[in-house]
Structure 1
Amino acid sequence: MPHRLHLHLVAPATPPPPAPRARAPLRWRAVLGAALLALFYGLPWLRWDGRQALLFDLPGRRFDLFGLTLWPQDLGVLLGLLAVLASGLMLLTTLAGRVWCGHGCPQTLWSNLYRWIEQRCARLPWPPLARALRHLLWALVALWTGITFVGLFSPIHALVGVWPPAWSAWETFWVLFYGLATWGNAGFLREQVCIDLCPFARLCPSLCDADTPRVHYDARRGEPRGPRAPGQGAVMQRGRGLLDAVSASDYAFRAAHPALAGPLPRFSADRLGDCVDCGACVQVCPMALDIRSGAQPDCIACGACVDACDAQMRAWQFPTGLIGHASDNRVQQLPRRWLRMRVLVALATLGVLLAIGLNTL
């Protein structure tokens, strides 16, 4: 008997509602970066008592620092000032983490500026024009950066106030050298400078301890991650609560290493954590890291992932803070110690240097 063909008509599945649109993150970090860049570019143009306010006059063997003039015999004062700044940076890193790397380092500032130019040029409809304009703007920024740097050692008005410029051989060399360094580091190397070349990045782990804040992903709240339809509420809103630390770490590890740990099982929407696995935190990271995979030694604590995640949480009407700054002791709900050995050493060093400097002046 011939087989009958049975057709089963299945109604098409209703697609889930689109994810909410993320609100724009806070812009204070961009404002801070722009202010620091403006400070650098504006320093050579500041005047004090008719002279350039900040000038390392090497031919004249004098250093003008906002009305204070240092001569070769005052080299100890300059070295002491540098030592004070280094001690202050050590204390800041111990108390607040790698905030210098994420917000004040020249490599970070110029990389962000070059990345911003790249993103704006990428919007042009014709790719060859976009690439040409991008490299032209990069070159102009690099050239002006080199001129500004040399303007701290030669009077800036003599560098740019005369046309054609009458630069010496050394001035020309340093303008081109610093400009090319800016163009290469900020345009192409970027995170590789922080990972492979920066000595401070290797020093940071010795300055930090269990009470030093770092960027932290709350796996107990966020795992297991996954997309879901809007309107289901956060884990605390729908009563699921936080996972235990062992299960949360296991889910985060398996999500980060699927080839090693195998795929995660499928979870119902009411068992999912607050992480919707949108990938926004990874997309904005200048170091191309996934903070959800655990502590990242190369993280520069810029907070870009924090802003991106908070924007997503607000869009989903979840509480913010899934990614935030927290120390290891705070994660383990231990009391924070403000006075510890590294802090005391940094404070003592800073105090001794300031006392010697005040006594010298």
Structure 2
Amino acid sequence: MSTPCNGIPRPWRWRGALSVLLLALFYALPWLRWNGHQALLLDINARRFDLFGWTLWPGDVGVLVGMLAVLAVGLALLTHLAGRIWCGHACPQTLWRRAFDWIAHGMAKALPAPAVRPATQVAWGLLSLWTGITFVGLFSPINELVAAAPHIGWSGWETFWVLFYAAATWGNAGFLREQVCRSLCPFARMQPLLTDPHTPRMLYDARRGEPRGTRPSGLGGVLGRGRGLLDPTTAQDYVFRAAHPLLAGPMPTFSADRLGDCTDCAACVSACPMQLDIRQGPQADCLACGACLDACSRQQHQAGFGPGLVRYCSPQAMAGQPRQWWRPRTLALLSMLLALLACGAWRLL
């Protein structure tokens, strides 16, 4: 049987729905009302922060800092336990890059080729402008901001920040794209401090997939035709040879019945927004977005193989070892979170 990994996951078909939900929540947030007033408003001019009926004044800045600290430690704990869930599914860069991709694909399907690029840029620009208005609407009353837009009645600062965030959205999601995650995002640099061998991540089952290569249809997977799983050392040797052919030398020639389940279609690489090859092992730039998992699952299904060649699990689970939920970093982060919550409760009571 296959290497245990807390169950074999299904393709992540919910990714698109989650992105739509989070984007809709962001655009709806400034329009939410509470007792006749904007529910969430950080009014800098009035020096007050309205949060669903709860008003914070300048003297309550400690409460606001505490809330931000709770969110930061909570995100660190989530990353430690569940991997890069934030980066792959909730980060603004991921959400807007995905939205821009949807727009580009939609334009390519609906319009003739000469009109695709200009129409895409116009749609990107409009979405970016509305994003800037929505974001500034969290700091300036959204009703007044939108009402003043047709006759350009914004203040100088409102105009600057709307255009600034519109340009940032357009540039980051439309052009910089993965370079933001790879080179600019500080949270990505913190991942090694938050993860350990028990933290889930996208992994390739080399014992089952290697040696990779094309083969006749109808051959069946390694588990069905009796080849079984390779030993870890041999599997990693094949992975290294495939990744570094000039250094390790050419791969040996294998008969079709000795090949692993990876057909070397490179669908996982094409689907990855970072253009990574998950078969080369865990990589710091991987966002754990699940695009490679979905692509590989489709290819495996078409080939008649079972799912799970690419999985979201921890290295320990991939090796067949039980997962440990309570580790030193887990206890440290959880203690920090509980301490912050206790301080906040004491401050408010």
Shift of residue 273 of structure 1?
A: 0.5
1:35 is aligned with what amino acid? L
Counterpart CA distance in 2 for 1:33 and 1:188 is 20
**1:226 correspondence with 2:206:** no
Please tell me whether the aligned partners of residues 225 and 272 of structure 1 are also in contact (alpha carbons under 8 angstroms): yes
Counterpart CA distance in 1 for 2:211 and 2:339 is 51
Q: Residue in 1 aligned with 2:119?
A: 133
1:313 is aligned with what amino acid? Q
Deviations 1:47-84 (A, max 9, x none): 00000000001111110101111111111111100000
More displaced 10-residue stretch of structure 1: 304-313 or 63-72: 304-313
Q: Residue in 1 aligned with 2:6?
A: none
Q: Residue in 1 aligned with 2:257?
A: 270
Q: Residue in 2 aligned with 1:238?
A: 225
More displaced 10-residue stretch of structure 1: 181-190 or 126-135: 126-135
**1:67 correspondence with 2:53:** yes
Q: Residue in 2 aligned with 1:98?
A: 84
More displaced 10-residue stretch of structure 1: 326-335 or 134-143: 326-335
Alignment of 1:184-333 (within 5 A): 184-333=171-320
- TM-score w.r.t. structure 2 length? 0.94
Select 1:49's aligned residue among 26, 35, 40.
35
Identity %: 62
Please tell me whether the aligned partners of residues 12 and 290 of structure 2 are also in contact (alpha carbons under 8 angstroms): no
Secondary structure of 2:69's counterpart equals: helix
Counterpart CA distance in 1 for 2:115 and 2:26 is 30
Secondary structure of 2:312's counterpart equals: strand
Secondary structure of 1:255's counterpart equals: helix
Deviations 1:273-315 (A, max 9, x none): 1111111111110111000011111101111111111122222
Counterpart CA distance in 2 for 1:68 and 1:227 is 62
**1:146 correspondence with 2:132:** yes
Shift of residue 258 of structure 1?
A: 2.1
2:218 is aligned with what amino acid? G
Shift of residue 325 of structure 1?
A: 1.3
Shift of residue 124 of structure 1?
A: 5.5
Select 2:21's aligned residue among 20, 26, 35.
35
Secondary structure of 2:264's counterpart equals: coil
Please tell me whether the aligned partners of residues 53 and 65 of structure 1 are also in contact (alpha carbons under 8 angstroms): yes
1:92 is aligned with what amino acid? L
Q: Structure 1: which 5+ runs fail to align?
A: 1-23
Q: Residue in 1 aligned with 2:71?
A: 85
Counterpart CA distance in 1 for 2:11 and 2:228 is 27
2:252 is aligned with what amino acid? P
Counterpart CA distance in 2 for 1:81 and 1:315 is 48
Counterpart CA distance in 2 for 1:66 and 1:302 is 32
Counterpart CA distance in 1 for 2:252 and 2:332 is 50
Secondary structure of 1:306's counterpart equals: helix
Deviations 1:179-226 (A, max 9, x none): 000000000111111111111000111000111111100000001111
Counterpart CA distance in 2 for 1:125 and 1:94 is 44
Select 2:327's aligned residue among 340, 343, 350.
340
Please tell me whether the aligned partners of residues 159 and 165 of structure 1 are also in contact (alpha carbons under 8 angstroms): no
Cα-Cα RMSD: 1.4
Secondary structure of 1:63's counterpart equals: strand
Largest Rg, 1 or 2? 1
Q: Residue in 1 aligned with 2:93?
A: 107
Cα distance change of structure 1 residues 97 and 254 upon mapping to structure 2, 3 Å threshold = same
1:225 is aligned with what amino acid? R
Shift of residue 272 of structure 1?
A: 0.8
Shift of residue 125 of structure 1?
A: 6.3
Q: Residue in 1 aligned with 2:5?
A: none
Q: Residue in 2 aligned with 1:15?
A: none
Counterpart CA distance in 2 for 1:206 and 1:194 is 17
1:222 is aligned with what amino acid? G
Counterpart CA distance in 2 for 1:124 and 1:75 is 50
Secondary structure of 2:109's counterpart equals: coil
2:52 is aligned with what amino acid? F
Counterpart CA distance in 1 for 2:331 and 2:292 is 32
Select 1:172's aligned residue among 154, 159, 162.
159
Q: Structure 2: which 5+ runs fail to align?
A: 1-9
1:55 is aligned with what amino acid? L
Q: Residue in 2 aligned with 1:161?
A: 147
- TM-score w.r.t. structure 1 length? 0.91
